[in-house]
Amino acid sequence: MQTKGRSRHFIYTDWILIETQFDPEQLHSKETVFTIGNGYLGTRGSFEEGYPHTLPATFIHGVYDDVPVVYTELVNCPDWLPLIVIVNGDRFRLDRGEILSYDRQLDLRQGLLIRALRWRSPNGNTIDISFERFASLADPHVLALRCHVTPIDFDGLIEVQASINGYPENQGFNHWEELDQGKTNQGIWLQRRTRNSRIELGMAAKVTILGTEASLQVNTAPGYPTLSTTFLAKAQQTVTVEKLVTVFTSREIEAPVPAAQEKLAQLPDYATLLKANEQAWDEVWQQSDILIEGDSTATFAVRYNLFQLLIAAPRDDDRVSIPAKTLSGFGYRGHVFWDTEIFMQPLFLFTQPAIARNLLSYRWHTLPGARRKAVHYGYRGAMFAWESADTGDEVTPRWAIGSDFYGEDVRIWCRDREIHINADIPYAIWNYWQATGDDDWMQKCGAEVILDAAIFWGSRVEFNSEREQYEIRGVIGADEYHELVHNNAFTNRMAQWHLEKAIAVYDWLAHKFPERATELEQKLKLTPEERSHWQEIVAKILFFYEPSTELIEQFEGFFQLEDINLADYELRDRSMQPILGIDKTNKSQILKQPDVLMLLYLMRESADFPYNEKALQTNWDYYAPRTDITYGSSLGPAVQAILASDLGKSTVAYEQFMRALMVDLEDNRGNTNDGIHGASAGGIWQAVIFGFGGIQLTENGPVANPHLPPGWTRLKFKLHWRGKWHDFDLKGLGTNEQGSGGEGEVAVSFSPLLLSSSVTERSRSRSVSQKSAAPLPLVPDAPSPIPNIQGFIFDLDGVLTDTAKLHYLAWQKLADEEGIPFNREANEALRGVSRRASLMLIIGDRPYSEAQIEEMMERKNRYYVELIQNMTPQDLLPGAIALLNELRQADIKIGIGSASKNARPVLERLGIVDKVDAIADGYSVQEPKPAPDLFLYAAKQLGIEPGQSVVVEDAAAGVEAALAAGMWAVGLGPVERVGAAHIVLPSLEGIKWADLREQLSNISRQKQ
């Protein structure tokens, strides 16, 4: 399928980006968009033949150098692209002659960039020229370029010059010293060294001519070694020029020039290299691809964003990380931010965990720089740089120099005050550990980062003796429009979360790796008094929060700032800060980034404080309208898409998703020329998987609770979790199923980044000190002695409606077709049992293949779906609607806990969807009843604890599951079937909430 890109002359197919017209006004942004790479380096999409004012660049991971006094930056390396074509004396370039046709394509499947043109020279000669290039994913040190030239209406001389440009610049500054260059039997080579960091680079190139007899000449002009040839071309004759390049630096090998020369001598031909590259990409896409059906723009654009992260991800180097602008532009000078850990890393964590480990190992390797920063500011432990390069030392520029010659320079305070990164990095490390179970890396690397960064918090917090609480003053939160605030909610809660986990990590280390624990105690000077100090901070840190409404104050005094209506500034093309000015923005409630919402997002998967549905709704209503989502931070839209999806705001969710999705393809912020928005690209992956796919992590693996955007008919992807792959194939509205899967083929649901691994562990970590807030309830392992019922979870079949008869009819029809004896008595054994388990009971030991079993399950479901089409509200069982209404009036949350994969359409046919707050069905968890997973999942969706939940069931397996979950159980039916429940009733008819509450209270008193 194809769709048009907005005003960018783009066509999107499923895998290929096509540019149909050259627009010089978009030269630099398109150079970014057409970046290729292989995880070792990235090359912008500049033209091989050059163009005036172009910004060609090749960035290699870890090759940093200093602009003296001013800043450290990722170095623009020698340009391997130059290939000049001269047609009968006229040099081919797009600012000369006439472009008769133009087509440029980026093939994401192979990382292949292709450009095809028909060009008429100033002298009237028409020629077809095409270029093709790739950075090999099979061998990161290999680059390849191929050019086809075909004269159309003339015979004449064509000259080709293939060079290495040894004079690359970083927007006016050349970081390279000339060392040497020369020629070999294979071609040419270049040797360079950075001026300050002393990194040596070796690059070699060779050229092959196909389709004509031609000899090569070598020109070794200083800094610009060139291989050239001239040949007589005939009309309609195609000549091919293949240029192969190898590159090494002293970061990975002691002698990069000989390495480049030897690699070049051993290379096969272009076609063989292309095939190897294609195979390598196929393996990566097998793990990382996301298939979307029903939305052709999203189909391509999601893959495009993934591609830009995949080509920037270090596969073989754990001493580097992904810069905020990836390896695609000069923006932020190649510095690494929290963007990597919070936004980009989850993609790799769940599809290529070895890369996730590399990204986190970079932070371990740069601990010395973080320690130096802490000492500089007078603190202990490790204080991570807001912007980091090769050593981990702070490289955020102190001043921003404006374009106004007479204007004031602007002080950049992030380096001093934006310290939440010190918890963001441990957050990512914890998530990696939970998702992979990589104890070896955790004890060697991760634990040291978490503990040393926690020591920093112990020295950074201040004790307020009047409040008798700890506070963190003088910071910048995730919202950078406010530059000097106290007790920022995001910073304080993340610091507290970090200290909670640091205590847990130390305890784990002391138990499982006592020698390493002792080693770190001595190295970090980590004493029992320090750990006690952490516990005290956890218990007493300030957090401004109104428990009755659950509204969180972004920082102390935020609600007293001027409230400005963003709608009054609707027609604008820039952020609010330059419109209002820095001072006024600081004194207003306008946000660059949804600070509080970001906190809720990070606490979302584990349901850690302050996340719950009410808090999300309350804080969304307050903070979303005050967020400069269009021109503030590019990090915001993807997060808002996920949270809006949680709140059922599908239109807003999709709108924000598209805003993030097209940020570079449509250049909707006007700064794509600086490089790819890496954090937004990572946020896109999370929005699709955690938001629309509804993926959530359980102890048994990821499960899906999809709520796909309108029009999406299918969403397919896979996730790697604790050593196993889980495949998801989710269906949108209008299809019979909402998803499918399991281990190997799992239909599950999971959200952003996972945190705690058990309910009881989460309960112990919820000790936030809140202003005017009551203590948070702990999660009980069993029902509380005094019932505090907050929600009811109803099974569907046999409880709210009698679909059991429909299931029976569907199974009966299938059994008759298969010649298997089946009757109503046999059907009784199927109550509360999953579809597969039911079928296995029916077929017994009869030999069926897995394919036949799958077909029979699908056939039975088809029969059942046909039957439920005739259901109406009249099919509700007596007493059901009355109890539902009474519970809603009493502010009791209502959930559905049904093993059926058709629960949602049944609720729709019964007309009670609006009375239900959460649905846990056959797609939500892997383990069926009597496992407690389904009901625990439903309680989590309701935002309540197990001990606050009442399950209403008609099956023995369901009652057993409720009790295993630590919930109250009400059984409907005969005692011999549901007698294990706390309360046994014949049906819901005449049942009142007040009566149930009284009976549960009596049971509690008897237990006491």
**Looking at the annotation, which residues are catalytic?**
480
Q: How is the beta sheet containing 90-91 ordered, strand by strand?
A: 90-91, 83-87, 156-163, 224-233, 217-221
Distance CA 495, CA 453 (A): 10
Q: Is 17 helix (H, G, I), strand (E, B) or coil?
A: strand
Q: What does each C-alpha distance from 649 to 398, 654, 707, 752 come to in angstroms? A: 41, 9, 11, 18
Give the sign of the dihedral formed by CA 112, CA 113, CA 118, CA 123. Answer: negative
Instruction: Please give the helix or strand (H or E) that residue 741 lies within, else none.
Output: strand 741-743
Distance CA 192, CA 201 (A): 5
Amino acid code (one letter) for 179: L
Distance CA 318, CA 719 (A): 22
Write the DSSP string, 186-236.
S-EEEEEEETTT--EEEEEEEEEEESS----EEEEETTEEEEEEEEEE-TT
Which residue bears the tokens 């590159």? 247
Are 794 and 952 a contacting pair, CB within 8 Å? yes
Are 554 and 623 a contacting pair, CB within 8 Å? yes
**Residue 4's beta-bridge partner residues?**
11
Which residue bears the tokens 């280390």? 509
Q: Is 370 helix (H, G, I), strand (E, B) or coil?
A: helix
Are 418 and 475 a contacting pair, CB within 8 Å? yes
Distance CA 145, CA 241 (A): 8
Query: Shortest CA distance to 162 belongs to which of 139, 141, 186?
Result: 186
User: Which two tokens mark 481?
Assistant: 């429009």
Distance CA 586, CA 581 (A): 9
Distance CA 379, CA 372 (A): 10
User: What values do phi and psi take at 959, rounded to 5?
Assistant: -65, -45
Number of continuous H segments (helices) and E segments (strands) in the chain: 33, 38
Distance CA 325, CA 705 (A): 33
Q: Do you know the residue count of the chain?
A: 1008
Are 218 and 201 a contacting pair, CB within 8 Å? no
Distance CA 716, CA 303 (A): 12
Are 323 and 661 a contacting pair, CB within 8 Å? no
Amino acid code (one letter) for 398: R
Write the DSSP string, 827-841.
HHTTTT--HHHHHHH
Are 806 and 974 a contacting pair, CB within 8 Å? no
Helices (DSSP H) in 296-381: which residue ranges? Answer: 296-310, 339, 345-351, 353-365, 367-377
Distance CA 870, CA 331 (A): 60
Write the DSSP string, 599-646.
HHHHTTTTT-TT-SHHHHHHHHHHHGGGB-TTTS-TTHHHHHHHHHHH
Distance CA 426, CA 360 (A): 9
Distance CA 713, CA 658 (A): 17
